[in-house]
Amino acid sequence: MAEAREGAAPSRARIAVLLISDRPERLKELRRSALAGRQVFVWERTRRRVPSWSSALRGDPTLPATFESLRGREAIVVIDFADAARARRVAQAVREVFTVPSVLQIDRHRRETHPPVSPDVTRIDEGELLADAIEVVLRRLSDRRRVQGLRNALDGSRRCAFLVQNDPDPDAIASALALRSVLGFRPQDSPIITRGQITRPENRRLIQALHVSVRHVSRHTLAATAPLVLVDVQPPYFGDLLGDVAAVIDHHPVSGEFHARYRDVRTSYGASATMTAEYVLAENDALLTRDLATALLYGIITDTRSLSRSASDDDLQMFATLFPRADHAALSRIQHPSYSSVALERFGRALLRAQVTDGLAYVHLGSLPEDEEHIVAQLAEFCLGMAGAEVSAVSGIFGKNLVMSTRSLTPDARLGDHLREQFLSYGSAGGHPVMAKAVVDLAAWRADHPYQGPNGLERAVRRELLRTLNSSRVSSPSSTRARRSRRQSRRSSTA
């Protein structure tokens, strides 16, 4: 099976648009907005010529034979008749001809109740924007095709494992839940798995509040697990540990070559939760339960920092869709972190040593308990607010690994790219231009970067970070302006 790229969205030309109206002149303006670049057919009851941008269909629109030449096509059908009973008969006729048609039936009478026709028929009031309605339906068709691509990749299997990153965040967990719901798989047969542990308190509260299980698996178990659906992460993150990768669904930049029978990687999206929520809505709106809406909304909130970072129009629209359906009392309980006195003490000691060097605020926390890895990400967010900081980085030693989280004020920093370049060969590394993480085998890294003692490690890591970040600033206009501003400030303060 050929790999599906960018979610395998259908092309504009493959979807036919059929306009069936007793007043076709009402649809002229539609051509200029929603139909450009698409194949358009217009039903015409007379021998009159149809517009040059369309093809004519003639005959009784209540009979399937009228549309026989388009049998098997994917189609959006717009039905616009004053006679509501005739409009229903037309809708029934086209459903016999087209493959999974999406029917928009214009209601000129704005009736509050209608006899049911089919789940594929959407009624819109005469005053609504038909172009917008067609765009919504086109997106839904694309999402249906993505759902089918995911099913095809599983090749009839009724189970899989949803693999997330080593310290899964709400975006990954919610997205895996959404895909499992779409596929109709049972949790006991299709677990959410990770090679690591959930460390951040708010993430643990999320799975507790929603009664979600995320299972830790060993290296050996992961290698033998199939089929795998990778969610919010890509195969290079795991090195050579993976067996059969059926699908990859993610919004991060591609981090290297990999094989999967289906891939949906959309880097324009701010959260995988937005993508997988589209899968849910395309499959069945009833699948979007209150708990699932809460999880998906929280995934968007965390990965886009409440829509202030890397949020696309798609994220904004999905946020608006999920917001009224979520449990906001549960969200409030999940979002507010709680810190132990030990964690707060570490925060204080670390901040006393924090320095900003050439725009980098870097803090090394030393050795910490493995269940407190979340501290590095939380402190990285905080340190980005230090005066003069363009980039923040916080690291700590957890067991045999150095774990580091980074944040940036601007995408120019390309943090995900730089952490992959510097640390991927020693463990795992990657992320977004403004937010990234690395988990490094300390012994392997030390072999190539010798140092003495904890202070030596801190100096070595800072040196490597500054070197790689400065290399990206050479061609960065915003960073150049920032450095010029800092130099001017220093000159002013010494004048």
- Across 27-41, 58-72, 109-123, least confident range: 109-123
| Maximum alpha-carbon separation in the chain | 89
Of residues 420 and 105, more confidently modeled:
420
Is the distance from CB of 323 to CB of 306 less than 8 angstroms? no
204 burial level (CB within 10 Å; 0-12, 13-18, 19+): middle
The tokens for 436 are 């990234």
At 6, is the pLDDT very low, low, confident or very high (cuts 50, 70, 90)?
Answer: very low
Residue 442: both structure tokens together: 């300390």
Whether the per-residue pLDDT at 36 is higher than 80: the answer is: no
125 pLDDT higher than 50: yes
For 452-469, what is each residue's pLDDT tens digit? 988 899 999 999 999 888
Supply the pLDDT for residue 151: 96
Report field, pTM of the whole predicted structure over 0.85: no
Q: Which of 10-14, 129-133, 226-230, 444-448 has the lowest mean pLDDT?
A: 10-14
Task: Return the higher-pLDDT residue of 62 and 54.
Answer: 62
Statement: residue 334 has pLDDT above 90: no
Q: Which domains are delineated in the chain?
A: 15-139 (3.40.50.720), 154-334 (3.90.1640.10), 341-479 (3.10.310.30)
Residue keyed to tokens 């030309």: 13
> Any idea which of 28-32, 344-348, 443-447 has the lowest mean pLDDT?
28-32
Under DSSP, the state recorded for 185 is -
Per-residue pLDDT band at 30 (split at 50, 70, 90): low
For range 324-331, the mean pLDDT? 92
Nearest to 134 by CA among 156, 108, 106, 162: 106
Residue partners of 189: CB distance under 8 A and separation at least 6: 158, 159
Closest CA to 206 of 375, 331, 381: 331
The burial class, CB within 10 Å (0-12 / 13-18 / 19+), for 451 is: middle
Query: 339 vs 32, 282, 345, 474, CA distance in Å?
Result: 57, 40, 10, 40
Residue 239 confidence (pLDDT) above 90: no
Cα–Cα distance measured from residue 228 to residue 225, given in angstroms and rounded to the nearest whole number: 7
pLDDT tier, 64 (very low <50, low <70, confident <90, very high otherwise): very high
Higher pLDDT, 301 or 471: 301
Q: Residues of 425-449 as b/e, b for ≥16 C-beta within 10 angstroms?
A: ebbbbbbbbbbbbbbbbbeebbeee
